[in-house]
Homo-oligomer: A and B are copies of this chain.
Amino acid sequence: MPRDIRLPENDLAALATGFLLSHGLNAPQAHCLAGILAASQRDGSLSHGLQRLPGTLDTMMHPRFNKHADPAPESVSPAVVRIDAQFGFSCLAAERGIEALIEKAGKVGIGLLAVTNGFHSTALWPLVERVAEAGLVGLSMNPTHAWVAPAGGTKGLLGTNPLAFAWPRKGRPPYVFDFATSAASRADIAMHRNAGKEIPDSWGVNLQGEPTTDPAEVLAGAMLPFGGHKGSAIATMIELMAGPLIGDRTSRQSQHFDQGANAAPCHGELLLAFSPDIIGGAAADEGAESLFSGFSDQNARLPGDRRYRMREASDREGIAVSAVLLERIRDLIEK
């Protein structure tokens, strides 16, 4: 029976920071990435949690990876800010860019942050949640690698392209969603393969482009978008918006850039922020709350609810981490 150990968030972040520093990553990147991994673990968002840490070694081995990246935002216009992640982990660039984004959106009503040239391996929800904490609406997206066939197609072209959104709520955590636009996550498919289980035939196609329930065939072939041609169109929009629009790679270009290093995808990331106060006036809160009450009236869950419950439990009891994973991470720390 796999055992979990519970740790305070600070201890977990310190462990992850120490791991990353021991492998030569500079302190700003190490602190930022460790904080996001610990927060994901805290919220029960395990596929983006501590288990990502060993994989960062592959990413840091990529010939273009920059352990010394020290990104600085560049103001393009009253509403647009760009930040080049300098081929380090994109989360530090995003973190540093978000301050400028919030400032611009707070003045002009809308802001756009383009993060480029970042190795991306974290969830997007911590970023949009940050925007919402400033009283703004956050929207974020990025390409990944060309694992997903477009609707009607047979070969990988689109990324698993996550979309994340946050709406600020007074006196309570924001409304937040964050999901891949593929029918299932790559991690989910791999988990089925490892467990010897079949998958629904809507998740992907084999090398011949035919639907299959064999997870190994899908991993060798192509995944499919969620929601048929509509999901496929949204995944395509994300490719365009967080790729060419901001002068960065599509998922196919990102995969080519990897050259078999098995690193986290290196690409752009788009963040938008909107000010309800400036755009629509003071009544935004009332309208939104009346919508959310329509969910609770019929016992429909808001997307962030499970994460917030996990967060409360973690804050109270410590964050659960598998003892095996903890041991593995400690073993991988360079002495």
Q: Can you give 9 A-B contacts (C-beta < 8 A)? A: A77-B109, A79-B109, A110-B110, A155-B294, A175-B236, A179-B233, A233-B303, A244-B280, A247-B279
Q: Are A300 and B152 in contact (CB under 8 A)?
A: yes
Interface centre among A227, A290, A294 (most CB of B within 10 A): A294
Interface positions, chain A 229-250, Cβ under 8 Å from B, are 229-231, 233-234, 236-237, 239-241, 243-250
| A24 touches B (CB below 8 Å) | no
Asked if B165 and A237 sit within 8 Å, CB to CB, the answer is yes
Q: Is A266 an interface residue, CB under 8 A from the partner?
A: no
Residues 118-171 of A at the B interface (beta carbon under 8 Å): 137, 139, 146, 149-155, 157, 163, 165, 167
Nearest-neighbor residue (CB-CB) of A107 within chain B: B77
Task: Tell me the bound Cα distance from A287 to B243 in angstroms.
Answer: 8
Q: Which residues of B contact A77 (CB under 8 A)?
A: 78, 107-109, 278
Q: Provide the residues of chain B in CB contact with A259, threshold 8 Å.
A: none
The prevalent SS among residues of A at the interface is mixed
Query: So how many copies of this chain end up in the complex?
Result: 2
Q: Kindly identify, within residues 298 to 334 of chain A, every residue whose CB is under 8 Å from any CB belonging to chain B.
A: 298-301, 303
Q: Chain B: which residue is nearest A237 at the CB level?
A: B165
B229 touches A137 (CB 8 A): no
CB atoms of B247 and A281 under 8 A apart:
yes
Contact B114 A246 (CB under 8 A): no
Taken together as a complex, chains A and B put the C-alpha atoms of A110 and B252 apart, in Å, by 26
**Size bracket, chain A contacts:** 35 or more
Q: How far is the CB of A284 from chain B (nearest CB, A)?
A: 4
List residues of chain B with CB within 8 A of the CB of A167. Answer: 237, 240
Residue of B nearest to A239 (CB): B291
- Other-chain residue from B76, B151, B234, B287 in contact with A244 (beta carbon distance below 8 A): B287
Contact between A241 and B274, CB atoms less than 8 A apart? yes
Q: A137-B241, A279-B247 are in contact. Are A154 and B298 (CB under 8 A)?
A: yes
A228 at the interface (CB under 8 A from B): yes
Q: A149-B298, A175-B236, A227-B228 are in contact. List 10 more A-B contacts (CB 8 A).
A: A77-B78, A77-B109, A80-B279, A108-B108, A114-B279, A137-B245, A157-B294, A226-B227, A244-B276, A245-B279
Given A109-B76, A227-B231, decide whether A150 and B244 contact each other with a Cβ distance below 8 A.
no
